[in-house]
Chains A and B, each alone.
Chain A
Amino acid sequence: MRGFLLNRLSQSLVLLLIVSIIGFVVLNLIPGGPLAQFGLDPSMTQDDLNRLKEQLGLNRPLWMQYLDWAWRLVQGDWGHSFRDGAPVLDVIGRHLFATLLLMGSSTVIAIAIGTWIGIRGATHRYSIFDYLATVGAMVALSIPTFWFGLVGIYVFSLRLGWLPAGNMYTIGDGSVLNHIHHLILPSIVLALVHVAIWSRYMRTATLDVISQEFVKTARAKGLSERRILMKHVVGNALLPMITLAGMQLPSVLTGALVTETVFTWPGMGRLFLDSLGYSDYPVVMGLLIFSAILVVLCNLIADIAVAIIDPRIRLS
């Protein structure tokens, strides 16, 4: 187990190095370069631009810029936004809370409902429930999220007036209840696709386990169907799902651009788009590294979780 962890950690470090190098190079290949936004300002002269370049160290060779940037990053200095001069980590932190709130709640909804639908679809295979779940999943997967968002806003905000149409909270009212009220619609819309994906995978995983011999053994022992399901089927079916969750979780934390835009939610997805539009290189690079770390970390956590549950991995 220790060897396994060390092995994975060293792999992760190499991966982060490669991702950061590629990101850095590609970003600097974009026409216009890091100071494109400043160039649009008519009051900036070429001399001003050159002075800025000098100040920011942008006139050095690319590899030197990278090494400098990486060295500061390792020390905890992620640089400053070109836009408002705020430290990159602060910028990310400001948006992270909004994303965590939205993504966290929609993920909980998606996993809970998706798991239930998946298991029930497998145990009641080819029943009406199973057919409806299959068709429902196909519909949820084929219709774009923004459409669901717009329909949701039209029905629940415009027509019924039950839920707010956007934003994270009403300005001047930062109460928990107000936050939850704003959260309901976007998190459900966002969960729809994830429920569809999760339930399909869970159904397949459950069917795989149900046909295993040890389930027959459990039946031969005279166990109740309920206990067979809870004790023998679900645990084994969740094993592959943990790995899947490990792959989905990072996308959850890096934000859902479309949903955030539809509901004007101030999350990471919108931050990324805005920063790109503004050629805010430090923030874009920061977000890139941040999501790479998340991907690596979530996969690592999933691997460890599987090892904890599965004695075959834990003990060998």
Chain B
Amino acid sequence: MAARTEAVSGEDAALSVRGLTVDLPKGMERIHAVESISFDLKRGQILCIIGESGSGKSVTANTIMGLLPKLIPVSSGAIHLDGTAIIGAPAKKLRGLRGRVVSMIFQDPLSALNPLMTVGEQITEVLTAHGVGTKASRRKRAIELLTEVGLPDPELMYYQYPFRLSGGQRQRVMIAMALALEPTVLIADEPTTALDVTTQAQILKLIRDIQRRKGMSVMFITHDFGVVAEIADSVVVMEKGRVVEQGSAEQVLKSPTHPYTQRLIAAVPHLTGKNRAVQEKASNETILKVEGLSKTYRSGSALFGSQRIVPAVKDVSFDLAAGRTLGVVGESGSGKSSLGRLLIKLQDSDGGRILFEGRDIAKLSESQFRPLRPRIQMIFQDPFASLNPRSTIGQILTVGPVAHGMPYAQAREEARALLAHVGLDAGAFGRYPHEFSGGQRQRIGIARALMFKPKLLIADEAVSALDVSIQAQILKLLDQIQRETGVSMIFITHDLRVASQICDEIAVMQKGQIVERGPPSQIFLDPQSAYTRELVAAIPGERPRSTPPAAANF
């Protein structure tokens, strides 16, 4: 499956990769992390490398940075960075290039900064490492950079510790650090994946602006075609360590030629303004009615005056009809997950009522609520952390129902049937979670919840950790299960595109309150609140397509 590689002369390319093959340690699922990949990053352009998890895109970036662990060696190929060959170059020379000719920003801004050093120290460190400037000039440069990336109060920001900054602000600090020596190439490894959608839009704009202003070349790694549409000049599509397609952004997005690219693009959840078709099994009977629900977090001690009070959920009311799905969307800190925990009574509420099938469960004690627990089930976000690694799938599925009085033989039969139902073979019963992929584990998580024949399913970011193609399958499965069983669902997500796919109604949360509630057609086409409008506008790649994004650079 040879990929087309346009011949680009050395001067044109800030970065050129030729026939790069990197081995994986023995015993992994494949021999090569990446296999004979070739591409060019032209000067002054943004190249997006897109692929699902395990496609080798991060390995490619780390190879260019010379940051590969010793366990995975480069076996063949050449990389030229601004004309300098870097494969086989001595470590000292590579170190001289890092931060000066090529810089990198990472996915998780929360862990990418040293918690014990001030922002200023971490930026000036780049200059010190490369022997640039004096102490005073370095400080001046750092403050310049902080201004440039749009951080408020740069003089003050210089002395701040990372924990004081929001995720978006930390990513700006990372960008300031990467820009310190005006590198030729900036490598961004999923820099917006961990950010809220409005913050993501701001950071994408910042990278785009800086790239244009400085004529920098950017290699941008992402899994999100929305982001590609937003900023890419050209695109490289990777699958299982190989480049399967490359070309201009317009070409790849509009008329993908490789079946894998076609499948990927088809799987991208698009915002639909269409309302969901009413389910056959849906009735008008209300299964859940929430009235004035509140929860306030208190930390520290009231006695010594260091208490912090965070209102997480404020006076939230809604109702949900049987067999329907309510989407709860919002950014991090909006209180959507707290709401989910209150509804399943993993946490006690401070005020308000939760009427489940007409009975107020908010005030029930743990022992009073226990018999009701099987009827309200949860699907968790992280399919890796939510299954006990020491239990077989069979134990995971049967332990709950057996504890609630089901005979083991019956539980086992139902578990086997459910596994088949969620698309796994019956052999899964005796295996352990680590033998399954993320998507399969999420299916197991769904089967676990369904074992109780619940009336209400609460899915907290149930597809957020999955690749788009898997995401689409899981959404389809949830839809199918709802049609068959008539279960009601509360679908908590930060991704409006996903919510638009599966929800009958959507509630938008901000700062603990529901600011708007309505069918998808209202939320996405005719949003009533300013915040909803802002959220919808920030979704990457969902602008009107009158101006193709790829054309913007010429």
Contact = CB atoms under 8 A, between A and B. Distances in A.
A222 interface: yes
Interface string A58-97: 0000000000000000000000000000000000000000
A236 B116 contact: yes
Contacts of B306: 2-4, 7
B164 A216 contact: no
B304 A3 contact: yes
A212 B125 contact: no
Given A3-B304, A6-B304, A216-B67, A224 B129 contact: yes
A227 B116 CA distance: 15
A315 B114 contact: no
B106 interface: yes
B161 interface: yes
A214 B112 contact: yes
Interface in B91-139: 95-100, 103-104, 106, 108, 111-117, 125-126, 129-130
B244 interface: no
B177 interface: yes
A221 B96 CA distance: 9
A8 to B, nearest CB: 10
Contacts of B161: 311-312, 315
A309 B164 CA distance: 16
B301 interface: yes
Contacts of A179: none
Nearest to A5: B304
B164 A223 contact: no
Contact of A221 (B99, B115, B304, B305): B99
Contacts of A224: 95, 129
A223 B125 contact: yes
Interface in A214-270: 214, 216-224, 227, 231-232, 235-236
A213 interface: yes
Nearest to A4: B306
A274 interface: no
A219 B67 contact: yes
B116 A216 contact: no
A224 B99 CA distance: 12
B116 A309 contact: yes
B318 interface: no
Contacts of A220: 65, 67, 98-99, 103-104, 178
A310 interface: yes
B303 interface: yes
A222 B126 contact: yes
A220 B112 CA distance: 11
A217 B115 contact: no
Contact of A312 (B108, B115, B129): B115
B304 A7 contact: yes
Contact of B116 (A219, A311, A316): A311
Nearest to B306: A3
Contact of B129 (A2, A7, A221, A309): A221
B174 interface: yes
B111 A214 contact: yes
B259 interface: no
Contacts of B163: 311-312, 316
Interface residues of A, number: 28
Interface in B117-169: 117, 125-126, 129-130, 161, 163-164
Contacts of B178: 220
A212 B110 CA distance: 11
Contact of A213 (B108, B129, B305): B108
A2 B306 CA distance: 9
A236 B303 CA distance: 32
B300 interface: yes
B98 A221 contact: yes
Interface in B58-101: 65, 67, 95-100
Contacts of B303: 7
B301 A219 contact: no
A210 to B, nearest CB: 11
A180 to B, nearest CB: 37
A109 B359 CA distance: 67
Interface in B379-420: none
A243 to B, nearest CB: 16
B116 A221 contact: no
B111 A213 contact: yes
Contacts of A218: 114, 125
Contact of B115 (A7, A223, A227, A311): A311
Nearest to B174: A217
A227 B67 CA distance: 16
Contacts of A312: 115, 161, 163
A214 B174 CA distance: 10
A235 B116 contact: yes
A25 B300 CA distance: 35
Highest count of chain A CB atoms <10 Å: which of B103, B115, B164, B178? B115
Given A221-B98, A222-B97, A214 B129 contact: no
Contacts of A221: 98-99, 103, 125-126, 129, 177
B106 A217 contact: yes
A222 B114 contact: no
B67 A310 contact: no
Given A4-B306, A217-B113, A309-B116, A222 B129 contact: yes
Contacts of B103: 220-221
Interface in A261-316: 309-312, 315-316
A223 B106 contact: no
Interface string B296-329: 0000110111100000000000000000000000
Contacts of A4: 304, 306
A111 B169 CA distance: 38
A312 to B, nearest CB: 5
Interface string A167-186: 00000000000000000000
B129 A310 contact: no
A316 to B, nearest CB: 8
Interface string A199-221: 00000000000001110111111
Nearest to B110: A213
Contacts of A232: 114, 117
Nearest to A311: B161
Nearest to B303: A7
Contacts of B174: 217
Contact of B305 (A3, A216, A223, A235): A3
A132 to B, nearest CB: 21
Contacts of B177: 217, 221
A189 to B, nearest CB: 36
Nearest to B163: A312
Contacts of B126: 221-222
Nearest to A8: B304
Given A3-B306, A217-B174, A235-B116, A222 B99 contact: yes
B238 to A, nearest CB: 21
Interface in B167-187: 174, 177-178
B104 A3 contact: no
Given A235-B116, A315-B161, A222 B95 contact: yes
Contacts of A231: 114, 117, 125
A311 B126 CA distance: 22
A194 to B, nearest CB: 26
B95 A213 contact: no
8 contacts: A3-B306, A216-B67, A217-B174, A220-B65, A220-B104, A223-B99, A224-B95, A224-B129
Given A222-B96, A232-B117, A312-B115, 9 more contacts: A3-B300, A218-B125, A220-B67, A221-B177, A222-B98, A222-B126, A222-B129, A235-B116, A311-B161
The 4 A-B pairs with the shortest beta carbon distances in the complex, nearest first, are A3-B306, A222-B99, A3-B304, A222-B98
